[in-house]
Amino acid sequence: MTQFEQNLKNLLATLESQKSDYRAKKWEAIRSRELANYRQCAEAEYTQGVELLRKKRDEAIAEREKEFRERLDADVDDKFFEAEQNLKKTAALFFPEEQKE
């Protein structure tokens, strides 16, 4: 067997491991550049989306809180207005002279 034939045989024997090594090095390069860039962009978009959802949630909660507060204020005002009117009527029964002033 000539040196050339031996070299060719050795190349064929190591071709699969060379293929695996080449693939691993290429994958590492892709992973460290393109995939890392993609991951960074995806995380930024995700963060923006989460922030937007949180903002919408906070706005919805604030709006609901405002509605509850307005209903409470109206209810309390109505009840205390009625109570005041009833107390004035009761006071007029017991202190009619004070009502004339």
Task: Quote the pLDDT of residue 7.
Answer: 87
Q: What is the mean pLDDT of residues 59-78?
A: 98
Task: Quote the pLDDT of residue 100.
Answer: 62
Identity at 7, one-letter amino acid code = N
Where is pLDDT greater, at 22 or 5?
A: 22
Residue 97 CA to chain centroid, in angstroms? 66
- The tens digit of pLDDT for each residue in 39-52 reads 999 999 999 999 99
Mean pLDDT of the chain: 93
Name the pLDDT band for 99 (thresholds 50, 70, 90): low
Q: The whole model's pTM is what?
A: 0.56
Task: Quote the pLDDT of residue 101.
Answer: 57
Q: What is the mean pLDDT of residues 4-21?
A: 90
Residues 19-58 as b/e (b if ≥16 CB within 10 A, e otherwise) read eeeeeeeeeeeeeeeeeeeeeeeeeeeeeeeeeeeeeeee
Q: What is the 3-state secondary structure (H, E, C) of the chain?
A: CCHHHHHHHHHHHHHHHHHHHHHHHHHHHHHHHHHHHHHHHHHHHHHHHHHHHHHHHHHHHHHHHHHHHHHHHHHHHHHHHHHHHHHHHHHHHHCHHHHCC
